Structure 1
């Protein structure tokens, strides 16, 4: 495992696999950054490093599509793999296995070092001006420029027992204030509630451009009171390096590109939204009045690089980060609940609305479930009970072990041919849902509850697949592969 300790190390790794493109021409923060990010995301292009942003001093750079699907042939999850210290060609289920294993490992707390590159430049008070930075206006229909789309908020509970890293969008309001759409049950919202209940302002830090694994763990929704920094320490087998902030009692990754410090003023409410979001749509044109995040300091590296995600039609970072990390959470949770799960995969192409669950081949012999319908219902009920997880899912597909849940061909084949059109459906009523899910009614989104559908896609065990890996003896498979590998190319002049 190769731990990349900074965003710049990550960019070097992307360049090594030809998955980074540098744009030296001047780019406008008004829609052009968003358009570049959207196009390269939707068409599987390389990450885009924008070197010159109109109206901002030379040296301020933007990285578009930092963790979207890769342009590397045959390895769409190469950016995720490099971020998590694995080889670029590591398949997604293997990446998920590492995240599953780390959930059972002993935490490795971070170490606080005396200084870090994130504080090469320190702006305090009036000099901590957000408008110095090229925060983009991403979509037509957004309510404003967004200061955060993939950065990590750091909050700590008043008793100092729990430090949480989480991702939330943040809209620029003026030179010293942002509005951030957070709230319970999101963990940074839970911590903010603790401060508000005490009648105190909430200290925060917003980390932009940390080492690449930070974004993945910040999106992972680990159990309450889990320290994400210590989880990453366990994952990599060594502690992360943090530095103390300048104006708040928090620590942040030492190699980060930009850190914004401040406090949440619950009495100062400012507008936020709308914004094009992970479901792929611009919501109705209204905004919310949310507590203001007041800025007290900004620190940054020389020539800082600001990662930007333009959320929308899948697959972008909203789907790769959430899909991969939540799949690891789902797999671990369902196994702990006694479900015979081979893998659980939140399908990024569905805007992470659909969970594909494959079950162990021997579930009929090793469990007490008497039918696939009973097993599917149990999976649906377990998903509904998953704290801080079930609200992402609108549909669950329960599939046989011979199908790869990360392969859409397998998932659709299993769904279409093994799920009975009427009897293969189980509806779980009144599950927690997210307000961003436009497939629900206005009333359901306002209430935060709606139905989740479970599809029983487990086939009759007597079915015989015609697939290459299933149908042919091993010696025939090996002979066929050898013949294919040694065959003549078309240019050899076949008559």
Structure 2
């Protein structure tokens, strides 16, 4: 296992295992980088690194698909695992266990370094020179409302009293060289902090960090409890403190090894239109909404900086790997805290974060004596639908552990044969609904309320599978394997 302290060492490691696609020919500054990245997701190719983007200074680069499925079929989650300091061959449940386990360990606070030691401040741009036009920011999708300046960067904000620092990912659209507009959802942590600045009547200081250490990007995109500092949690995953440096113009600390840091203030009003944007559900966006303006005041960057991007859409991109694993780890943590004997949790990539599988061990009835599967299903829903992260998940399936939840073919087989057409489910009405999940109607989005469901697929008796593994004597199977493929 190895922790990568900056984006460049991570890219080098991916390159050494054949998982980087170098694009040296000139690509346009509008759609071509995003279209190539989107195709790389859909055919599971190496991650594209663009060395020559039209309209920007030589040396500026774009990096797509940073935490998507690997092109290495023997280690499909390598990009996510390596981002978090885990072995590249780690499987999905192992990554989820690591994310959940770190929640129970003491945090390791970041370590502030001097500006001269911080690669992110090799170049400092102020005033008119601090302009987004100098960077390669393409359109993500054809129908988007503008160029999206943030799809995989970390937004750093803190409460007015300084007691809570939040690192998160939220989509931010470029308006012009000096302005951006970002989606601020009141229930999310950045929205809660922005609300405090609004109440105070002061613009919120922010830093938008592009290309920090991969673990920073990953943790910024997953749920951890409110008022917990992501920097401390990342230190726990890394086993060492994250080096940070004081921002040039703000009282915020930023990752010292980042590629680019944009500093400024966020308006206290929703005074600019944001969107539409093609989201993780797999559909091009429609409509826009009024959101706060992010004013650009200072920019710092490394020499020859790299701007990473996630081009969301149909599976499988970072929303369906890293973010889904983070949501699953959050669910696993809360269910185990409720003293339920959960083996693992998993969100299948192809469900576009609309399904959560809760996997029960074979002996769960012994561990929960007197509890029926119906009562267990109800209890799981009661625990999960009180959590903030589960606002994104409309459907939960409680399943046995006799199949691989990370294998979509096995998931489809198990759910098709075990979900009852009308019964064996717990329906939870009037749950929180936001517009990102795609399965509700307009009235439910307007009301912010809708139904969620937990399906009980647990077998009263384990049935043997009509499969090679379970349908034949062991000695027959071994003889066949020893002589395969004769």
TM-score strictly above 0.5: yes
Structure 2 contact 259–302 (Cα < 8 Å) conserved = yes
Residue 143 of structure 1: aligned partner? 145
In structure 1, runs of 5+ residues without a counterpart are: 489-495
Task: Supply the RMSD in Å over aligned alpha carbons.
Answer: 1.6
Query: Once structures 1 and 2 are overlaid, which stretch shifts more, 16-25 or 365-374?
Result: 365-374
Residue 340 of structure 2: aligned partner? 339
Give SS of 1:26's match.
Answer: coil
- The structure-2 alpha-carbon separation of the partners of 1:58 and 1:371, relative to structure 1 and needing over 3 Å to count, comes to same
Structure 1 contact 215–321 (Cα < 8 Å) conserved = no
1:310-347 CA-partner distances (Å, limit 9, x unpaired): 11111111221211111111111111112221111122
Give SS of 2:316's match.
Answer: coil
Residue 322 of structure 2: aligned partner? 321
Does residue 347 of structure 2 align to residue 357 of structure 1? no
What does residue range 88-103 of structure 1 map to in structure 2 within 5 Å? 88-103=88-103
The TM-score with structure 1 as length reference comes to 0.94
Once the 2 structures are TM-superposed, how far is the Cα of residue 426 of structure 1 from its aligned partner? Answer: 2.6
Take 2:318 and 2:293, find their aligned partners in 1: how far apart are those partners?
26
Once the 2 structures are TM-superposed, how far is the Cα of residue 96 of structure 1 from its aligned partner? Answer: 1.3
Once the 2 structures are TM-superposed, how far is the Cα of residue 45 of structure 1 from its aligned partner? Answer: 0.8
- The structure-2 alpha-carbon separation of the partners of 1:108 and 1:471, relative to structure 1 and needing over 3 Å to count, comes to farther
Structure 1 contact 393–433 (Cα < 8 Å) conserved = no
Residue 111 of structure 2: aligned partner? 111
Give SS of 2:140's match.
Answer: coil
Once the 2 structures are TM-superposed, how far is the Cα of residue 447 of structure 1 from its aligned partner? Answer: 2.1
Structure 1 contact 319–349 (Cα < 8 Å) conserved = yes
Structure 2 contact 393–437 (Cα < 8 Å) conserved = no
Residue 181 of structure 2: aligned partner? 179
Take 1:154 and 1:112, find their aligned partners in 2: how far apart are those partners?
15
Take 1:7 and 1:246, find their aligned partners in 2: how far apart are those partners?
21
Take 2:112 and 2:120, find their aligned partners in 1: how far apart are those partners?
13
Residue 64 of structure 1: aligned partner? 64
1:274-315 CA-partner distances (Å, limit 9, x unpaired): 11111111232x322221111111000100000111111111
Residue 264 of structure 2: aligned partner? 262
Query: Once structures 1 and 2 are overlaid, which stretch shifts more, 440-449 or 5-14?
Result: 440-449
Residue 298 of structure 1: aligned partner? 299
Structure 1 contact 150–307 (Cα < 8 Å) conserved = yes
Structure 1 contact 360–400 (Cα < 8 Å) conserved = yes
Give SS of 1:25's match.
Answer: coil
Once the 2 structures are TM-superposed, how far is the Cα of residue 414 of structure 1 from its aligned partner? Answer: 1.6
- The structure-2 alpha-carbon separation of the partners of 1:425 and 1:111, relative to structure 1 and needing over 3 Å to count, comes to same
What does residue range 142-291 of structure 1 map to in structure 2 within 5 Å? 142-267=144-269, 269-284=271-286, 286-291=287-292
Once the 2 structures are TM-superposed, how far is the Cα of residue 129 of structure 1 from its aligned partner? Answer: 0.4
1:3-57 CA-partner distances (Å, limit 9, x unpaired): 1011000101111110101011111121111211110011101100001111111
Take 2:467 and 2:218, find their aligned partners in 1: how far apart are those partners?
34
In structure 2, runs of 5+ residues without a counterpart are: none
Take 1:435 and 1:399, find their aligned partners in 2: how far apart are those partners?
28
